[in-house]
Chains A and B, each alone.
Chain A
Amino acid sequence: MAHGYERHDCEVLVIGAGGAGLRAAIEASAAGARTAVVMKSLLGKAHTVMAEGGMAAALAHVDDRDSWKVHFADTMRGGQYLNQWRMAEIHAKEAPERVRELEAWGALFDRTADGRILQRNFGGHRYPRLAHVGDRTGLEMIRTLQDHGVHQGIDFHMETTAFRLLKDGERIAGALCYERERGRFVVFRARAVVLATGGIGRAYRITSNSWEYTGDGHALAYHAGASLMDMEFVQFHPTGMVWPPSVRGVLVTEGVRGEGGVLRNRDGHRFMFDDIPENYRNQTATDPDEGWRYVIGDKNARRPPELLTRDHVARCINREIKAGRGSPHGGVYLDIAWIREKLGDAAREHIRRKLPSMYHQFKQLAGIDITVEPMEVGPTVHYIMGGVRVDPETQMSDVPGLFAAGEVAAGLHGANRLGGNSLSDLLVFGRRAGLYAAQYARSVSDPTLDEDDIQRAAAEALAPFERDGGENPYALQRELQDLMQDLVGIVRTEAELLRALEGIARLRERARNVSVGGNREYNPGWHTALDLEPLLTVSEAITRAALERKESRGGHFRDDYPNKDPQYGAFNLVVRKAADGTMQLERRPLAPMPEELTRIIEEQK
């Protein structure tokens, strides 16, 4: 019997309603395209809502030495020069305009004394650059986009998950989705599709990411024939909560360090001063006093080492813990309360005003008052730099009509993302993806859907109901998370990566045998079963790329090749699905950088 489905036609289908998806939809619809958006959760609940610290844009409100050039150079340095330079350039140039536009749509940022948008310090950014609202910037951003978007005639489908991309020959033709509520299928025919599905954090056990981040967009694109790039670069945020066990991984914003928080080991030693990488030495404070002066805005002082890039800070924390100098629950101490030595009694109020949700989070979940006690923190999987390989101008992938923006796309961040560069990425490239998707949609006719494809995909989605007594999807997901955490984590070796590959292959076999009970109505067991395939696909891509990159750079650290190797700085790793269904890896040389940009990088060294 044929599987039934509801059918919708649109010109641009956006998959995902975080910052990137909403910004893309607003732009596509403003450009006149009939636009629909699907999302796994309710509107306003995407990952973007959790972002805390802020969005990076060289507005130069706090330090007038800032400019797009400095932002560009910072982004490239942070990414260890594997970034697509053109994306880093576009991002640095367009971010200020995108932030101002949010203000015009109603966002309210914290202010400078002269009434402009205030900017804060963040790791790897030379000057205070992050526009923010306390520590809930993501909420401000997503709510602004959501409230603006609902008046633009966009067709929103909440709790509707894309399961398969549909094609018409080489070009994109739409997507097959299922509704969570009733479990019914919905097919969208679309001339262009924008992927804005966010990240992959659920492939790991300790992560700041929610259940949604199972790498769906990465896997959808891969199976549709697009390339994934830079998948070996996973960002471990240095500071996740470590205690109590149930909140392990929940994020502690870098804003804590931006406001003067310091890292100490069990012995009270401020270990970040011990190891400052050569390429950051010129920009880093030599003693705690200089670090504090930087925090309070002394323009002649340099950043404290706690604000070095995330890959480095995470590894230093990892080292302290491994060496037995960690805190009681296997982390290190992050202390903001110490600033009362400098600010006296005003410190308490200052912390609560600048970091209200951190205050609340620790008070409620860990029973700790961060204005008087240090927090215990450790690395947590946070972000993936890798993703769908796209054209820097238009965000179109290798598949005609398939676009990607936000965390699911690769290129801007190279080997390591700077904090705050994601929220601005969402706006800059979300807008571009929406714009060019609408343009592309206008230039083509309606695609034809292949009914056989639809029926095959629907049958696959329902297969877990047909089996009895098979594997438990939750247990399988957990096993995969353990495997990735233990074998493809912060520090990698060839032997472990090879073991991981074997493990993933075995889990893939077992995943074919998951079964779920109950019916199709709001059944998380079923949803978890369907999330396994994308998780396995991205896990395999990460592992294969990590094996191939025999050096250490940015978010990728190989214990057996602990140094950077210039030879590996000349290319990105690209993953594609071969005709026989296996995963193929390819080295793709970096595009040569125009001389003007090379000069900017030199000047900012």
Chain B
Amino acid sequence: MTAHPTRRVTLRIWRGDRNDGRFVDYVADVDEGMVVLDAVHLVQATQAPDLAVRWNCKAGKCGSCSAEVNGMPRLMCMTRIDQLPADEPITVEPMAAFPLVRDLVTDVRWNYEVKKKIRPFRPRKPDAADGTWRMDQEDVDRVQEFRKCIECFLCQNVCHVLRDHDKHAEFIGPRFFVYAAALEMHPLDTEDRLADLRHRDGIGYCNITKCCTVVCPEHITITDNAIIPLKERVADRFYDPIRRALRVLFGD
């Protein structure tokens, strides 16, 4: 077996709780190929046993290990140390848009509450006598992109409407526009979420800065493929003068 070159790095990790906190420097010798999460675990196992951090899969599949690494929202398990600048400390801090629990762990429960409000999937009647449906791969492919979401909430974390303007009560955030798009464009779904999107979910607040798309570890084109088409559907429904007139006459 080949020897694994190690490298000495300084990790500048945010330590603290709801009341108070600061950055603490830890020096660690990391192996070739290590990711930031490995280094955090190394610190935890040898220097700071109570360092709070979430993770599960270590392979970018569960969306648990979201944090800000050198100021960039990332999955710690998919961020290789050898791709970060070698001569500076690596800063690791919790997501800023959610209340802190401790160290790198934030309270993301709000996201789960938001999701519950979105009208659930309602399929059309089965296509076949045996109670099953027929769908083309092409139609399935259209929504698969949205269904790749691992609920890491990094997009929620960078969206200025939540992060800077704190509109958590009026705006569901990019993750849930992706979710709504997955349902609206699901080949079998018959539910209508457009009124909710406009009136309750605050889709109008999104001004298409695309910050969410940039950070998505699943490379979901959140703005172009999910938000803009939803905005268009909302606009068609609520701002198209002819349609509005028809709606006044015949109901929604």
Contact = CB atoms under 8 A, between A and B. Distances in A.
B129 interface: no
B120 A246 contact: no
B62 A365 contact: no
Interface string B82-110: 00000000000000000001110101110
A5 to B, nearest CB: 20
Given A45-B56, A210-B57, A365 B44 contact: no
Contacts of B2: 328-329
A111 B133 CA distance: 11
A111 B141 CA distance: 10
B27 interface: no
Contact of B32 (A140, A210, A245): A245
B64 A518 contact: no
Interface string A384-400: 00000000000000000
Contact of A366 (B33, B102, B112): B33
Contacts of A518: 49-50
A24 interface: no
B244 interface: no
B133 A103 contact: yes
Interface in A82-124: 100, 103-106, 108-111, 114-116
Interface in B142-193: 143-144, 147-148, 150-151, 183, 186-189
B132 A522 contact: no
B73 interface: no
A60 to B, nearest CB: 12
B75 to A, nearest CB: 10
B144 A108 contact: yes
A108 B143 contact: yes
B246 to A, nearest CB: 31
B101 A111 contact: no
Contacts of A100: 131-132
Interface of A is mostly: loop
A133 B182 CA distance: 15
A42 B148 contact: no
B38 A246 contact: yes
Contact of A151 (B54, B58, B64, B120): B120
Contact of B78 (A49, A365, A528): A365
Nearest to B53: A524
A45 B137 contact: no
A247 interface: yes
Contacts of A151: 116, 120
Nearest to B138: A111
A250 B34 CA distance: 13
Interface stretch (A142-150, A429-437, A445-453): A142-150
Given A106-B121, A518-B49, A523-B50, A50 B62 contact: yes
B229 interface: no
A67 B210 CA distance: 49
A370 to B, nearest CB: 14
Contacts of A6: none
A96 B151 CA distance: 29
Given A105-B121, A148-B120, A151-B120, A41 B135 contact: no
A462 interface: no
Contacts of A139: 61, 147-148, 150
Contacts of B4: 244-245
A145 to B, nearest CB: 12
Nearest to A360: B60
Contact of A134 (B38, B55, B108, B144): B144
Contacts of A360: 60
Given A42-B108, A244-B31, A245-B32, A116 B56 contact: no
A133 B141 CA distance: 10
B56 A210 contact: yes
A140 B62 CA distance: 12
Contact of B1 (A106, A108, A181, A330): A330
A526 B35 contact: no
Interface in A208-233: 210-212
A212 B61 CA distance: 15
A545 interface: no
A333 interface: no
Nearest to A245: B31
A329 B4 CA distance: 10
A488 interface: no
A205 to B, nearest CB: 13
Nearest to B30: A246
B134 A212 contact: no
Contact of B80 (A104, A365, A516): A365
Contacts of B35: 246-247, 365
Contact of A158 (B46, B109, B144, B187): B109
A330 B137 CA distance: 40
A361 interface: yes
Most buried by A among B50, B55, B150: B50
A114 B135 CA distance: 8
13 contacts: A44-B62, A44-B151, A45-B64, A49-B150, A106-B121, A108-B147, A246-B38, A247-B33, A247-B35, A361-B60, A366-B33, A478-B45, A524-B51
Interface of A: 41-47, 49-50, 100, 103-106, 108-111, 114-116, 133-134, 136, 139-140, 143, 147-148, 150-151, 158, 181, 210-212, 243-247, 250-251, 328-330, 357, 360-361, 364-366, 472-475, 478, 516-519, 521-526, 528
Given A42-B54, A108-B143, A210-B57, 7 more contacts: A103-B132, A108-B135, A108-B140, A108-B186, A365-B80, A517-B50, A524-B50
**Nearest 10 interchain pairs by C-beta:** A244-B33, A525-B49, A518-B50, A115-B134, A106-B121, A474-B45, A522-B52, A210-B56, A522-B102, A246-B38
